[in-house]
Structure 1
């Protein structure tokens, strides 16, 4: 097999440089050597680098020493991504991609091969939502004793100062009432957290992929936390930013999924509320708590997008927040 260049996709280099500055740019430039070392240690044969790949990770299709297909993910280690291996190990393939091997300090994960180009975005919205909620039911398990995951109150507390500082900038003057409302709602939510389960943290249609063409059995079985019997589902989650907290937090990104479709629909505010109510009722989540987390996460993400220069995404997210 011809040697495959282990070069990061151009989009990855641009994105991580814009988001993380000089440290991100330096990390991206070191990817080819890091990938070469991991490939040699794990006795992998690269097939191709996925384009455009992830926003903060390089994804390489590989063959293991025995010829089994797998996926090598080399990600930037951040506070949000550091516990991805621990979450995947906890799920052990139940509703999520199976972790085969990891070197956490390198940000290197060897994963089972999924159909990387087929996500829930390929399905009609109603079917995608049905599948998405089914996967979430499998992911929401007890985090385990002495787990390493951050809690939603602590994580979102770390966003409060940054959100406030961005809202205080001259360019955000008109957005301050919306930011104040998001901060007030978040304070009310964390004052009365109703449950603590393992959350995906970045759950949307693009982070749920079709399983491989011939998935192995299980592990939806009794010895997996919350497991039952039967085959693995046809859709599996990837790229968690794991947290421990209430389910409403995880549902917030589904409320705003396919935002371009929502904004183009007749009466987008009413359509958004209908979606929120349907998701809350289907998964037995309090509507007001889901509305609150959807508002906070959209405002925080919208201000972040504006701050890093993504004006289109920022304005759309903040418009969505007003619909809530």
Structure 2
């Protein structure tokens, strides 16, 4: 009798132990499944969303930088400007750390040129330094890319292409006399030089770096060119920009010319060895440009 009771007790305990083991095993499997779904679905989604939002935010930061510089050039202000640039997106601890990023100031290696040609008087060339600021982020889930400020423009570079997010001052106006068979154009533009020590600051976490800019000099020059029709070449302006982002500048020039409705034989655009782009406008009777030199540092 006692032996049968003992057997029943041991049997019940054995069944309870097996049930507990099965419950623990299922719990572990469910947790592993949930973790797998989280790491394979939600982590990439959340991290990509954070990296995308951050990249858009940096574009806005550079837009504010450009707007501040343009405004101070217009007002002829020599105040020092401070523009915060967001570094790195907010990562997901353990699963997706913040991507590394870097902010650079780079003076131009080669000078850009603006050449003014006038019928019967030869040509004159104005050189300016170019240079710029570049932000690069090495994203893990969203496409890595750069945001660049150069020559008054903000350029976005991702993958194998680049495009212009915010355009520089570059205005073409048809000033031909009404009823005239001749084309005459006015061109207004800005020439901006960024200079300072070549410096790069990196970050492996989300923080903010400050870009400090100050307008050292800024002056406007206006040329009125005589349009002569008795032989010789037509007046022209030729702008050559040294840049790594020729496709962005090419797209910008094409869009501007399309909006201006210029005949094809009134201009030419060509890329030189993938390192510079040249734009020529014929029949230019007025040229106005402001040449500005800006000192840039970081803190």
TM-score computed with the length of structure 1 as normaliser: 0.22
Greater RCO (CA < 8 Å, at least 6 residues apart): 2
Question: Counting helix residues as a fraction of each chain, which structure ranks higher?
Answer: 1
TM-score computed with the length of structure 2 as normaliser: 0.23
Question: Counting strand residues as a fraction of each chain, which structure ranks higher?
Answer: 2
Larger radius of gyration: 2
